Structure formats: structure tokens, C-alpha cells
Amino acid sequence: MSRRPFNFSTFIADKFSVKHWTFLILITFSSCSQNGLKFIKRNPSSVSHMGCFSAINGFPKEKSYYFGAKRTEPLATFDEQIQVTQFLYGRPGVINRKREIRNLSFDELLNYLKEKPIPYVLGPNGMKYIIDRHHFSRSLFELKSELSEKFGANAKEIKIYFQKVEFDEVNPQDLSDEEFVELMKDNKLTYLKHSNGEIKPFHKLPLSVGGLEEDYFRGLSWLVRKSGAYKKSDIPFAEFYWGEYLKKNLSLDKLKYSKKNIRKAIRLALTFSDEASKLPGFKGAIGMDELELEDLVKKSMKKLKKKNLFDLEGLDEEASV
């Protein structure tokens, strides 16, 4: 009697019932919601769309938005209509960004700003709720006077670029305040956790980038990412999640950006654990021995040294939690 050739597709179909497949599909949708995974599609105008499926009460629901038109605001007043969507920021990223900007010529600065539009959702109150580049915005906010003095009359030509976030089926300006907050939360376009772990109300957000509060572990997570210990991710607020993980699992004598503390943080980020492996951009591996781990830590520290991130001016003092 001849044996039927093995067919993997047939095997899977035989072994998995409709119930199994339904369960797997729902798990996939749910994972997308929890981890911020995105798909990209195109509309007739060729504008990039981003969205995600989530399983709510067993029913998949699509959430999507896309980046629309760009506009500019003068450097002198760019921050007056900005509303931030987070409470905290990390100081190292701002100091490094300011150092980069200070070293640019006038023409280089204009091109630099053009390549970094700040994405925003226009709220019912007419404010621009920026959903990314908070540290970039904070850097420009702190440098306004300095750049105006450096470039004199030409400073009037310095424009900050913004890019509007549009939604497929809703105009945020038509919503009530409560509906707008839910829209921002549902699409994970705001991060409301404070340093003490408290989830604060949306209406308590700082009224400007100048009102952002420094958070040591948010700054530390930025340094860890710049070292290459975890990969940059498109998932919103990824560095905040890493900051939470570092805060929970690191034991530090003082909250200073010392090489000792940075090394500890890099080592923790590269060490495999069930919790770490679920964080966006995780690069560690199961079964890595001490020699392999130490080699990766050394390479990461060398990257920071090469980028001159151990000598950021103004990081000598003990930071805020």
C-alpha cells in the first residue's frame, strides 16, 4: 500500500478546527492593540495611513490615522499654540539635540528643520496637540533666544515645520472635549503616566513644552537606545516603556548619568527576561552566556563614547526621578 506524501497545509487544516483559527485570529488582533503594531495602506491621494486592529469584546475594530499637510510657524512663536501629550521628558536627549543645533550654519539649520516636521492633532480648542518630537520641540524652545541672537535679522526666516495628523472617519475639531480625549487615548497618541506611576488626567497635561518635567529614567532609556542595546521602534512612547522597566529593575545609589549607572542599564536591557523580551526593540537573546553579554555591553559603551554622549554638558547634577 503506497503512503500518501506528507502535505504540511493539509496537516494544519486537519489539526486545527475553526474554533482554533478563530482564537488565533483574535489573539493576533489583541496583540496588535496591546503592542501598537501597525499596518500601512494607501488612499487614493497616496498619503500614508497607519492603523491597527484590536479585539474588543471579540469584535475587531480598525483604528487608523495618517499624516496630512505640512505648515510652518516662525521660530519666535512656534510654541504658543502647542499642547504636549506627555508629562515627562529626558534631559540627555534635549542637551544632545541642542548641541547638534548649535553647530549648524544658517542654511544647515533651515534644511535640518525642514526634515523634522512635528506631527500634531488639531484639537477642538484649536491647539496643536503634538504626538511626537517633544524633545526636539523642547530643544527649540530653550534655544529660541540664542538662535535669534546668533542669526540676527535672518532669524525671522527660521521656520518650524508641523505636519497635521488626520483621521479616516472623524474630524477631531468636531468632537467634544471628552470625545477628543478618548480619540487620543484609543489611538495611543498620549502618555499620561507620571514619574510616581500615577495615571494623570488628560486635562492636567502641561500647557507648553516648557512645562515638561524631567524624568531620570526616561533620560536613561534614551542613552540605552543610543548605545544600541535596544532598537528604535515605531511604537509610540517606546522609550517611556523602557524607562519604566529600568526604574523597576535597577538598583542605583544616585540618579546620575554616570558610566556606572549607564553600564548597569545597558546590561539589564540586553539581558533576556520574559518582561524585557516583550518591550519594543528588545535585542537580547535566550541562552547568552556572561562573556557574550559582557562583550555586547562593552560595544554599547563604546558607541556612546564615539557619539560623545558621556560628556553632555549639564548632566553632572543629580537628576529628578
Please tell me the predicted confidence (pLDDT) of residue 6.
Answer: 44
Please tell me the predicted confidence (pLDDT) of residue 15.
Answer: 45
What are the domain boundaries of the chain? Answer: 22-63, 66-213, 215-306
Q: For residue 304, what is the DSSP state?
A: H
List residues bridging with 59 in a β-sheet: 56
Please tell me the predicted confidence (pLDDT) of residue 171.
Answer: 96
Contact by Cβ (8 Å): 52, 37: yes
In the numeric block, the cell 490615522 is attached to 65
Q: Say what the pTM is.
A: 0.79
Q: For residue 115, what is the DSSP state?
A: T
In the numeric block, the cell 546590561 is attached to 267
Q: What are the cell numbers at 293? A: 553579554
Contact by Cβ (8 Å): 121, 166: no
Please tell me the predicted confidence (pLDDT) of residue 269.
Answer: 98
CATH of 66-213, one of 3.30.565.10, 1.10.3720.10, 3.90.1530.10, 1.10.275.10: 3.90.1530.10
Q: Specify the pairing of strand 88-89 against strand 213-214.
A: parallel
Sheet strand arrangement including 82-83: 39-42, 48-56, 59-74, 159-167, 118-122, 128-130, 82-83
Query: Quick one: how far is CA 13 from the chain centroid?
Result: 40
CA angle 154–157–160, rounded 5-degree value: 130
Please tell me the predicted confidence (pLDDT) of residue 317.
Answer: 55
Q: Check the CA dihedral 231-61-118-181 and report its sign.
A: negative
Q: Where are the alpha helices (DSSP H) in the chain?
A: 8-15, 18-35, 91-102, 106-114, 134-151, 177-186, 216-226, 238-249, 259-270, 274-277, 290-306
Q: Quick one: residue 56, left, alpha or beta (phi over 0 = left, psi -120 to 50 = alpha)?
A: beta
List residues bridging with 199 in a β-sheet: 193
Q: For residue 271, what is the DSSP state?
A: S
| Residues of the chain where predicted confidence (pLDDT) is lower than 50 | 1-63
pLDDT, one tens digit per residue, over 89-105 is 999 999 999 999 999 99
